[in-house]
A and B are shown apart, each in its own frame.
With several copies, the nearest count.
Chain A
Amino acid sequence: MPRVTFREERCKGCELCKHFCPKGIIEMAGHINAMGFHPATVVDAESCTGCATCARMCPDIVIEVEKEEKKVG
């Protein structure tokens, strides 16, 4: 199962990841981080495809995505 990790303290709550996640599984947390923003978080990790769209749209490089090793070429 792919894994998305958020470096919460770096998140500025811009919601771009949330908007662009094709699975719609990112939400903004209720609490605020030290910078005063509601950080993004995955609410349904199971559904994550590891597509990394969220990461590619995150301006603050908050998100890391890991996936099962597949032999490619």
Chain B
Amino acid sequence: MFEAILIAGFGGQGVLSTGQLLAYAGMVEGKHVAWIPSYGPEMRGGTANCGVTISSRPISSPVVSEPTVLIVMNRPSLEKFQNSVVKGGIIFVNSSLIDLRASRNDVRVFYVPANEMAEELGSGKVANNIILGALIELTGVVSPGAVEKSLQEVLPPHHHKTIPLNLKALETGAKLVRNGQKT
């Protein structure tokens, strides 16, 4: 198995930590994983993205230049990255913040109104995890159990009280896929 996942959005949307959660889960399952952020003065512009590779074989370059899965949390990221996705790949679009449709038709595109759904759950902060739940359900790249275990490790202790909410968000995302929604 091999998945190269690119997660992109504004700084502050939790893009980097979502990627780390995913990588951690991969490690928990004994897979080869690598996580890498974009770095540098672009951070000034307020965008952030990271690549997560999860594979059954050692990982060559950790830089995700041709994602098998793309998660975009804002419009500039969709515009910038959609063409890099491999044919047959997947794009998750946070349709709460992006009023644009993806232009690719050789990939699967899921529109998830993640912010609205997260607000419904009680906190906009778990928008990422809704999409992550969908991703996991769809690709099976890691198991939900591994993610649950990883949450314990990745979140600092004083945030452990948010774990149930995060799990709910992951489950909500998974359901979306199970129900075949393509908003």
Contacts and interface: CB of A to CB of B under 8 A. Distances in A.
Direct contact of A and B (CB under 8 A): yes
Interface of A: 12, 32, 34-36
A12 B11 CA distance: 13
Contacts of B76: 34-36
8 contacts: A34-B75, A34-B76, A35-B45, A35-B76, A36-B10, A36-B46, A36-B74, A36-B75
Interface of B: 10, 45-46, 74-76, 97
B149 to A, nearest CB: 33
Nearest to A12: B46
B119 to A, nearest CB: 15
What 4 pairs across the A-B complex have the smallest Cβ distances?
A36-B10, A36-B74, A34-B75, A36-B46
B15 to A, nearest CB: 13
A34 B75 CA distance: 7
B103 to A, nearest CB: 17
Contacts of A36: 10, 46, 74-76, 97
Contacts of A34: 75-76
Contacts of B74: 36
B97 A35 contact: no
A12 B10 CA distance: 13
A32 B115 CA distance: 14
A12 B47 CA distance: 13
Contacts of B46: 12, 35-36
A35 B74 CA distance: 9
B118 to A, nearest CB: 17
Nearest to A35: B46
A45 B46 CA distance: 31
Contacts of A32: 97
Contacts of B75: 34, 36
Contacts of A12: 46
Residue from A32, A35, A36 whose CB has the most chain B CB atoms within 10 Å: A36
A32 B13 CA distance: 15
A36 B74 CA distance: 8
Nearest to B45: A35
Nearest to B11: A36
Nearest to A32: B97
A59 B97 CA distance: 25
A59 B76 CA distance: 22
A70 B94 CA distance: 51
